Amino acid sequence: MVMQEKLDIIRVHDFVGNLGVNLPPVENFWSLGDVTALRDRVDGSFFRSNYERGILLYALVAKHRPMSVLEFGTGRGYGCLCMAWAMRDCGISGMIHTIDMVSSVESIRWPICWNESEGPQVEDLSRSEVWSRAAHPAWLEHVKEWTGYSAAAMREFSGDPVDFAFIDAGHGHRGVRHDFYAALGAAGKRIDILFDDYSFEDVGYGTRKLIQEEVLEHQDASLIITDRRWPGGEKEHYSDASSGMVWINCKNPQYLLDEIQPKFWLGMFNLGYRFWEMQYRLRRILVHKVRLVLHVEHGERIRTAAVRRVLQALRVGHGGSRG
C-alpha cells in the first residue's frame, strides 16, 4: 500500500455537516458540557474545552448506528453521555462500554457550572452525583461502566464485537498504542475509531506518533480540527491545523492489526504493557499514601520544596492509560 504522508484535514463543523444528521440545539451540548467538561486555568478563570467533541460523537453515532461502543477514558462523562444521547434519540439499541480507572462513586476535583446565575466553581464530585442530575435516565440504559486500567479491564471485557471506539484515556504513546490494538482486537468485521488529542504538544504526542508511524502506512485517516472551532467559538478563525481529533474507518480490523503488529510482537507488547500498567498502578497507590501521610491536622497539606520533589519523583511515568 502506498504511504500516505499526511492526514486529510477538515474542520469539525464541515465534517459534522457532511454526515447529514439532525442535531439537537447546540446550546444543549454547551449546557451538558458545562457540568461534565468545563475546565479551569491557574488564574482561576474557566473555559469550555473542546465541547465540539460531544457534537461530533453524537453525529457519528447517529450516522453509523453502532451497536457496541468501546470508550477508553470515561473522564467526567461528556463524550459517553453524548453518545448515549444519540442512541436514545435515534432508537439505537446499542451499548457503550466505557473504561476508567476512577470509579463512578469516587469524588474528584470537578470544575462545573450548574447554571449561569450561580456561575462556574470547583467542587469535589463523583460521576454518579453529576450524572444523576445531568443525564436523562434513558441515556444511562445504554451505558456500562468498567472500572480499572485499560489492559486489566480488557481482559475482563465481555461485550459484543466492537464496531465503534473512542480512544481518550492516557495520551502517552504506550497507552494509546495499547488502546488502539485492544480496540482492533475486540472489533467485529469492521470498526470506526475516533482518537482525541492529536497534536505536537505533550498531551497529544502519543496519538500523533501512533498515527504517523503506524496507522497512515496502512489506513486512510482524517484530522478533524476541534476545540473551540465551532461557529461562535473563541478559536473559530484560528488558522492552525496541526491538532484535533483523528477519525479512521477500518473495513478489516484484523488485517490492519496484523499489518501493524504481527501476532508474536503483539503478544510481547501486551505482556510488557501489563507489567508497566501494574507498576503504574502501584506507583499511584504509593503517591496516594504519601499524600495522606503529609497531611497535618485539619487536613492542611504540608507544602515544602522537598515534598513537591518527592511527589514529582513518584509520578515519573505518568501518561499511561487513564482508562
Dihedral (CA of 145, 97, 139, 127) sign: positive
Residues 236 and 292 both lie in one domain: no
Q: Are residues 303 and 292 in the same domain?
A: yes
pLDDT of residue 323: 34
Residue 79 lies in a domain: yes
φ, ψ dihedrals at 250, nearest 5°: -105, 120
Instruction: Give the model confidence (pLDDT) of 281-314 as tens digits.
Output: 888 788 777 777 765 444 544 444 444 554 455 4
249 shares a domain with 112: yes
- Based on the domain organization, do 161 and 306 belong to the same domain? no
Identify whether 319 is part of a domain.
Answer: no
Q: Residue 213 falls within a domain, yes or no? A: yes
In a domain, 320, yes or no: no
Q: Which residue do the cell numbers 507544602 mark? A: 303
What's the chain look like in SS3?
CCCCCCCEEEEHHHHHHHHCCCCCCHHHHHHHHHHHCEEECCCCCEEECCCHHHHHHHHHHHHHCCCEEEEECCCCCHHHHHHHHHHHHCCCCCEEEEEECCCCCCCEEEEECCCCCCCCEEEEECHHHHHHHHCCHHHHCCEEEEECCHHHHHHHCCCCCEEEEEECCCCCHHHHHHHHHHHHHHEEEEEEEEEEEECCCHHHHHHHHHHHHHHCCCCCCEEEECCCCCCCCCCCCCCCCCCEEEEEEECCHHHHHHHHCCHHHHHHHHHHHHHHHHHHHHHHHHHHHHHHHCECHHHCECCCHHHHHHHHHHCCCCCCCCC
> What pLDDT does residue 294 have?
66
pLDDT < 70 regions, the chain: 1-5, 294-323
pTM to 2 decimals? 0.87
In a domain, 322, yes or no: no
Same-domain pairing of 248 and 261? yes
Q: Is there a single domain that holds both residue 203 and residue 273? A: no
Q: Which three cell numbers stand for residue 167?
A: 480512544
Q: What is the CATH number of the domain that holds 57?
A: 3.40.50.150
- Domain extent, residue 284, equals 269-314
Residues 80 and 163 in one domain: yes
> Can you give the pLDDT at residue 170?
87
Same domain, 292 and 143: no
- Does 295 map to a domain? yes
Same domain membership, residue 273 and residue 235: no
For residues 17 and 103, state if they share a domain: yes
Taking a C-beta distance cutoff of 8 angstroms, is the pair 100, 73 a contact? Answer: yes
Predicted confidence at residue 280, as pLDDT, reads 84
Question: Per the structure block, which three cell numbers stand in for 117?
Answer: 446565575
Q: In this predicted structure, what is the pLDDT of residue 126? A: 97
Position 308 scores a pLDDT of 52
On whether residue 323 sits in a domain, the answer given is no
* Same domain assignment for residues 143 and 290: no
| Domain match, 281 and 133 both | no
State the number of CA atoms in the 13 A half-sphere of 100 facing the CB.
22
pLDDT at 288: 72
- Provide the number of structural domains found in the chain: 2
